[in-house]
Amino acid sequence: MIEQILTQNGFTDKEAKVYLAALEIGEATVGSIATKTRLKRSTVYSLVEELLSNGILSMQKRRGIKRISALSPQVLIERLRHSLALAEGALPALLDMAYSSPLKPRVRFYEGVEGIKEVLLEVNNAAKVEPGMIFTDYELMPKEVFDFIRQLVPNRKSTQNFLRIIVPPNARNIAVQEEEDQLHYAEHRIANFPLENNPIELTLFGNTKVGFLSYTNNEFFAVVVDSKAVYHTLKNLFLLVWANAKAK
């Protein structure tokens, strides 16, 4: 689990193993790290040199023996937070670059429930922008997808990524609305649509993106359109329905 977190934040698999081994041993030698990680000594030497250059490891010589120490977890986490802050600061410039050429792709397609989860992860990890706007129907949503959304709430809440969600009036949606703030970090409103349900979830997020998520049996897929024009057009539609929908 810890190795996976490190590899998701810039470490290679082997670098993560070496860092964790040095952290656990304390003042380690290349030999003790090689023994603990079951990596070749030559491989460990190369990895240690790389981590030393990045400030992840430090080295001191005691009685002629090189001792390797790992950067403290607290300092490592602060570095990751600093990197995240820099990335968020660069987001506007990156978005401008993304729209600088009309030849770049604007539509992405994802298949199956796993594809839907990938889009939901993107929605829940959206940077600090305006609240996400969603048309959905929990009655049609697969349990696996609903449970996955629940798992993402704590992280979304910690980043203040609040959602506004419009659902049709059925027992399932009303039940979710009743528990909304504690378990969803969202506000739900009920709208009386002309048709009974919404088999396609419509999600507006990230200031420019619109997701279409299909929960129809044998038609599980997701499409993301990245377009300011489409986003703002559907935002107008959402806000019109939101203003006339029933709050909790």
- Is beta strand 132-135 parallel, antiparallel or unpaired with respect to 200-205? antiparallel
Give a yes or no: residue 140 inside a domain.
yes
Q: What is the pLDDT along the chain (248 residues), one digit of tens a residue?
A: 777 878 877 888 899 899 998 888 888 888 899 998 898 988 988 999 888 888 888 888 777 788 888 888 888 888 878 777 777 777 667 666 665 556 555 889 999 999 999 999 888 887 666 888 999 999 999 999 999 998 888 888 888 888 999 999 989 989 988 886 667 888 999 998 887 767 899 999 988 899 999 998 778 999 999 888 899 999 999 999 999 998 88
Give a yes or no: residue 213 inside a domain.
yes
Give a yes or no: residue 90 inside a domain.
no
Q: Quote the number of domains for the chain.
A: 2
What's the pTM? 0.59
Same domain, 224 and 134: yes
What's the Cα-to-Cα distance from 89 to each of 9, 96, 127, 160, 229, rounded to whole Å? Answer: 18, 13, 10, 17, 24
Report which of 61, 53, 56 is spatially closest to residue 72, judged by C-alpha positions. Answer: 56
Residue 66: give the domain boundaries.
Answer: 2-74
**Spatial contact of 231 and 208, defined as CB atoms under 8 Å apart:** yes
How is the beta sheet containing 132-135 ordered, strand by strand?
107-111, 219-226, 209-216, 200-205, 132-135, 163-167, 186-190
Give a yes or no: residue 24 inside a domain.
yes
Give a yes or no: residue 189 inside a domain.
yes
